[in-house]
Amino acid sequence: MPLRFTLRQLEYFVAVGEAGSIAKAAEQVNVSPPSISASIAQLETEFGVQLFVRKHSHGLSLTAGGRIFLKEAARLLNDADALHDVAGDFAEKVRGPLAVGCLLTFAQIVLPALRMRFERAYPDVRVRQFERNQGQLLEMLQRGEIDLALTYDLGLSQDMTFE
């Protein structure tokens, strides 16, 4: 049976599931909110399951099925990233995922130009961007959820380096 969904649709779904809102997810993946909404609707139609409960004042909440789908979609995306990395090993190029965290206070000022230059230099690197406060970024680093954080050097544990 042919697949009737794309990895990009899954990426958008995971972004919304993690962010809790279409607007926040759209900013993270750099696409318009209507594109995200359409992708979610297509996934729901394809699988015949409601993935989110829409709450007008509180964004979106995952349904029970949506939580299971989120876990499996994230796993599938990680597997796809690994496959992409294996291919990159053969081509000896810099490629693969890079999870970057940035302080909320300067994410909109620093990241757009920095990310644009980086993506031009390394088009095969897939950057995922997270905007959080200092404490959240440090926790994400310690848990291995992000590869680097653009932040201040305050409150770093001894096992972290700052450059």
Reported as a single tens digit per residue, the pLDDT across 43-57 is 999 999 999 998 777
In the chain the domains, ranked by start, together with CATH numbers, are 1-92 (1.10.10.10), 93-163 (3.40.190.10)
Task: Record the tokens describing residue 24, joined without a space.
Answer: 């926040």
Per residue in 119-132, pLDDT tens?
Answer: 888 888 888 888 88
Q: How many whole angstroms from its chain centre is CA 104?
A: 16
CB 116 within 8 A of CB 86: no
Q: How many whole angstroms from its chain centre is CA 162?
A: 24
Gyration radius from the chain CA atoms: 17
Task: Record the tokens describing residue 128, joined without a space.
Answer: 């995922």
Residue from 119, 105, 99, 98 nearest 151 by CA: 105
Per residue in 63-106, pLDDT tens?
Answer: 999 999 999 999 998 888 887 666 666 556 677 788 888 888 87
Instruction: Output the pTM of the full model.
Output: 0.56
3-state secondary structure of 144: coil
3-state secondary structure of 21: coil
Dist CA 76 CA 9 (whole Å):
12
CB 11 within 8 A of CB 28: no
